[in-house]
Amino acid sequence: MTEHAEAGIPAEPALQQIGAIQIVRINDEGTKFELNDEAIESILGKVPADMKVAIISVVGAFRTGKSFVLDLFLRYLKYTSTHDAPDVTTRDWAMAHGAQLEGNSNFEQTHGETGFSWRAGRKRNTTGIWMWGEPFIRKSKAGEDIAVFLIDTQGMFDSETSQMLTASIFGLSTLLSSYQIYNVDKRVQEDNLQHLALFTEYGRMALQGSIDQNDNMDLKAASQRSIEAVAKSASGKNLTKQQSVDTDVVDATDVEDAKSDEDEDDGEGAHDGLMRPFQHLDFLVRDWQDFKRKATLEEKKVDMKAYTQEILATRKQQDLADTREQIFACFQTISCVLLSHPGHAVTDRDYDGSIEEIDGRFMELLTSYLNHLFGPAALEPKKIHGVNVSSAELLTFIKSYAALFKEATIFPEAKTLLEATAEANNVNMKEKALAKYKLEMAKLVGPKCNYVKPVLLTEHHRMCTIGAMTIFDHGAKMGRQTAITKFRGQLAAEIEKEHLRYVEVNAERDPYKNLEFYVVPMTMVVVLFIFRVAQDLMCYESVGIDIPIYDCNHVSHTLSHLYWAIITFMLIVTFATGSVMYDRFKAVYSIAKTAFLAQDGAKQKAD
């Protein structure tokens, strides 16, 4: 059973609405959402600007009964507005405002006018985020008035909503709430924990991004006040590592005695002194089937605590341990609440909302939970950065959070488990193939290799490329073909980049590289030397009667100075380049020697 009307937002303006109001709308494509500013302003505007608020939010997969149980939450709050907390053995509180729940849409679609809309069936009912339009004023354990609001969210994984939008709804709901209730079916499975860890990380990023990227001065002032208060409260504490769940677990339905430490609270993770971005998390497990038939309420609470230990205990497997570490790092307290099945009559499409038909064991467990949830010991106002915020400050934060999620500039793309796994596999195979290419190319053009002809290098590159692509094609078989093709193209681009690098390295080893810079000066030296020798042999001093027309000694000395200057310059350059020049001359000599020996051997064979 869940959820609200997908079709239709009430026609009246938000200021005229009563009941459940849609504060976040989803577009028809299920890819974007929009905050209804007028609605959220009208709701929070019903309490004084400086009053503290507590927001109870329920999230979870679609068709798991979130809106149905929220309708019962609503009945409880209405009843306890004029009565004391009820006994767990009675359902009078649920029937005080009528024998049937108001949100029933099995026969006629409701739009939250008198209760949170829910219905039986397989199609989703709630879209976006809905908030009850009227506050319920309660007392905290410090005697302070707190305005309590209820929030219902669109179910996750409904096959019509993008993964990014699902993450945004979950993250935004976590940011809004002081008490987050994660509704799960029958048991807490590992995928529930993994999705929780992923989606709350989006909320944590938005919490930080609201300070880093927002220009609203009121928001910055509230954020700075919160950060300063956290630093002051934490200055006298010795922050310790997260304790194991085996040694410190308190169930959410078990109200402890008053604690002297103001930071302690019910639930796992409340006693380690670390400041977390979010406050409370309850796993509300529906249709639990493992209670003993005659178990008392206290025995069932013991089962809840044991189950909390079981699902949150430290794991040896790294991926499982990382998931739990992420969850512990996000929430101040974590607990499990187990509810039995409400009765098969409730799941029938002809169910009329009759409270009498709800199973008595379900009502007993739910009443116990609600007595705790809305009791003074557990009820506390919304905190941001560890400091209570007023309704006016919360409104500013909500607008900032919604803008961050709408623009999605600070978030990575949310992917399905298949997409994430396939992408990881494609990345791994790309890296493996590229490493193989480099290994094979290094055998020919590695650090200890000599110069090879460009033709041989090109052929070796071609063979190495074929081998690398074969490795990728054999391993990259998971996910969409378009994604595989994309990574194959990236591999080809990276291989080509490496090929160009190898070509440059090989070119630097070419013994004939820049040989013209040495041939021209040496040619000039030889020409000058020959000219000097020739003129010394044929020199004469005068023609006719002692008329000096040519000074042989002067010309000879000048020519000597010129070619020795060139030789000196070449020696300076040679010594300056050091081993590089030596290796180059050595390579030239080796090539020349090989060519000479090959020619000599050919002549001997011919003889």
- How high is the mean pLDDT of the chain? 78
- DSSP labels for 440-466? HHHHHHSTT-----HHHHHHHHHHHHH
pLDDT at 585 over 80: no
Q: Give yes or no: residues 373 and 283 share one domain.
A: yes
CB burial class (10 A; 0-12, 13-18, 19+) of residue 449?
middle
Whether 478 and 537 map to the same domain: the answer is: no
Examine the domain organization and report whether 560 and 522 are in the same domain.
yes
- 431 and 406 share a domain? no
More confident residue, 22 or 166: 22
pTM of the model as a whole: 0.64
Distance between CA atoms of 330 and 201, rounded to whole angstroms? 8
Say if residue 297 is in the same domain as residue 149. Answer: yes
Query: Which stretch of 42-56, 136-150, 219-233, 278-292 has the lowest confidence by average pLDDT?
Result: 219-233
Q: With contact defined as beta carbons under 8 Å apart, do 87 and 65 qualify?
A: no
How many distinct structural domains can be found in the chain? 3
Q: Is residue 554 part of a domain?
A: yes
CA nearest neighbour of 536 among 563, 557, 561: 557
pLDDT in tens, 186-240: 999 998 898 888 888 877 777 766 555 545 455 555 555 545 544 554 444 333 3
> How high is the pLDDT of residue 63?
79
Calculate mean pLDDT across residues 281-293: 92
Closest by alpha carbon to 65, among 2, 119, 116? Answer: 2
Residue 221 domain-assigned (yes or no): no
Residue, of 128 and 148, whose pLDDT is higher: 148
460-492 tens-digit pLDDT? 999 999 999 999 999 888 878 888 999 999 999
Q: Please state, in angstroms and rounded to a whole number, the distance separating the CA atoms of residues 484 and 493.
A: 14
Handedness of CA 207, 212, 216, 221 (dihedral sign): positive
Q: Categorise residue 266: left if φ over 0, alpha if ψ from -120 to 50, beta otherwise.
A: beta
**pLDDT at residue 236, as a whole number:** 44
pLDDT class of 436 with cuts at 50, 70, 90: very high
Same domain as 488, residue 386: no
Cα(585)–Cα(514) distance, integer angstroms = 12
Most confident of 166-180, 334-348, 533-547: 334-348
Task: Kindly indicate the confidence band of residue 257, based on its pLDDT and cuts at 50, 70 and 90.
Answer: very low
Q: Which of 367, 387, 411 is the last residue of a domain?
A: 411
Minimal CA–CA distance to 339: which of 281, 269, 253? 253
Q: Are residues 322 and 193 in the same domain?
A: yes
pLDDT on residue 389: 85
Is 479 in the same domain as 535?
A: no
pLDDT for residue 5 is more than 50 = no
Domain limits for position 484: 425-509
Same domain, 45 and 163: yes
Q: Answer with the one of 473, 489, 509 that is the final residue of a domain.
A: 509
Q: How far apart are CA 400 and CA 215, in angstroms?
A: 10
pLDDT in tens, 363-420: 999 999 999 999 998 899 998 877 888 888 888 888 888 887 776 554 556 565 567 7
Q: Count other C-beta atoms under 10 Å from residue 399's C-beta.
A: 18
Q: Which two tokens stand for residue 45?
A: 């505007």
Q: What is the mean pLDDT of residues 238-257?
A: 37
Check residue 274 and give its pLDDT.
61
Range scoring the smallest mean pLDDT among 91-100, 252-261, 396-405, 493-502: 252-261
In this structure, are 443 and 524 located in the same domain?
Answer: no
Same domain, 288 and 170: yes
β-pair type (145-153, 136-139): antiparallel
Q: How confident is the model at residue 357 (pLDDT cuts 50, 70, 90)?
A: very high
Q: Which amino acid is at 352?
A: D
109 or 21: which leads in pLDDT: 21
Section 16-29 average pLDDT: 78
- Domain assignment present for residue 392? The answer is yes
CA distances from 582 to 118, 512, 524, 571, 586 (A): 86, 13, 22, 12, 6
Pair 288, 317 in one domain: yes
Whether 544 has a pLDDT exceeding 80, the answer reads no
- Residue 138 pLDDT more than 60? yes
Q: What is the DSSP letter of 378?
A: T
Of 584, 578, 461, the residue nearest 514 (C-alpha): 584
Q: Is the pLDDT higher at 337 or at 561?
A: 337
Q: How much is the average pLDDT of 321-334?
A: 89
Both structure tokens of 285: 């497990």
